[in-house]
Amino acid sequence: QEVSLHPFVQEILRSYRKTIKDKHLTIEILGDETITYVTKYELFYPIVKNLIENAIQYSQIDGTITIDFGFTDMFYFIVNDSGIGISLEDQERIFERFYRVDKARSRHSGGTGLGLSIVHNYTELLGGTVMIDSHLGLGSTFTVRLPIK
């Protein structure tokens, strides 16, 4: 399917509007209004949904989230947050099923630890890669790169 990125991202954000409001999060979408990407929707949707959900979940009050997408030689989708960050040690394991950084700090969210393993697996199924750049206390950036048909 051909996905129109702006409305697609807006629609996902809408399902988190209460948390976004409660945490006073600022969300910026940098990608061009007109960008569309042809992909398998049932794989692409959970990738984007989980990355945005995590960015919102692991952001603190007054945080900023930046979402960017576009084309180079591949399609890229980037989610940056100014949240709690992930240590290098944890970054090595973060894509494993059921892995959560620390129960005390993730306790509020009550997640299962499956989100990023889905992101990783579905990205591979689509022939792409996912990269993480994160610093404890500063925030995280997840970059997904996917092939262009």
**Which does residue 82 bind out of Mg ion, ligand ATP, none, counting CB within 5 to 8 angstroms by kind?**
none
Q: How far is the CB of 142 from ligand ATP (least distance, A)?
A: 7
The CA-CA-CA angle for residues 2, 17, 40, to 5°, reads 20
114 binds ligand ATP (CB under 6 A): yes
121 binds ligand ATP (CB under 6 A): no
Q: How far is the CB of 91 from ligand ATP (least distance, A)?
A: 9
Q: How far is the CB of 1 from Mg ion (least distance, A)?
A: 24
DSSP string of 67-111, one letter each residue: EEEEESSSEEEEEEE-SS---HHHHTTTTSTT--S-HHHHTTT--
**Which does residue 39 bind out of Mg ion, ligand ATP, none, counting CB within 5 to 8 angstroms by kind?**
none
Distance CA 122, CA 140 (A): 20
